[in-house]
Amino acid sequence: MRTNSIFPVVPAHDVARSRDFYAGLLGLRVVFDSGWYVQLQAATDETVQLGLVARGHETIPRAHLSAPAGVLISVEVDDVDAVYARAGDLALPVASDLRDEDFGQRHFMTVDPDGLLVDVITVIPYAPEVAGSGAVVTG
């Protein structure tokens, strides 16, 4: 079996508002929009995708209609500082300020219109104590 792609589909109370949030923050482009479902794609890589579906839509099993909770979306970008500035320009909520982490990320967190955490990161070098700890696995 070959896996062709994996991408999140996020239930949204207001699909258009969520579409505008992700397109505005991350520069994603709309490749499909039926009103109740939107497919977004990175302009630079068609395999980077995000779906938005109207919460409560008939295609979602009734037992799973609740709002997303306990999940965050992590988005790797080449310039997190630029995205952080864009988030400020768009007056988006910041749940965690821009900072460098020992485990090899420069990142900040914002919150989408439905309360889902969005962690925007750029990969940076690991701190020496992490790089030499055996925690970093390659290959």
Cα separation values, 98 from 3, 12, 73, 74, 105, Å = 34, 26, 16, 14, 10
Domains of the chain listed by start with CATH number: 9-57+70-131 (3.10.180.10)
Answer whether 84's CB lies under 8 Å from 42's CB. Answer: no
How high is the pLDDT of residue 14?
Answer: 96
| pTM score of the predicted model | 0.87
How high is the pLDDT of residue 132?
Answer: 67
Cα separation values, 122 from 13, 32, 70, Å = 29, 28, 22
Print pLDDT tens along the chain (139 aa): 888 888 899 999 999 999 999 999 999 999 999 999 999 999 999 999 999 999 989 888 888 777 767 889 999 999 999 999 999 999 999 999 999 999 999 999 999 999 999 999 999 998 888 766 666 556 5
- Which of the 8 DSSP states describes residue 107? E
How high is the pLDDT of residue 134?
Answer: 65
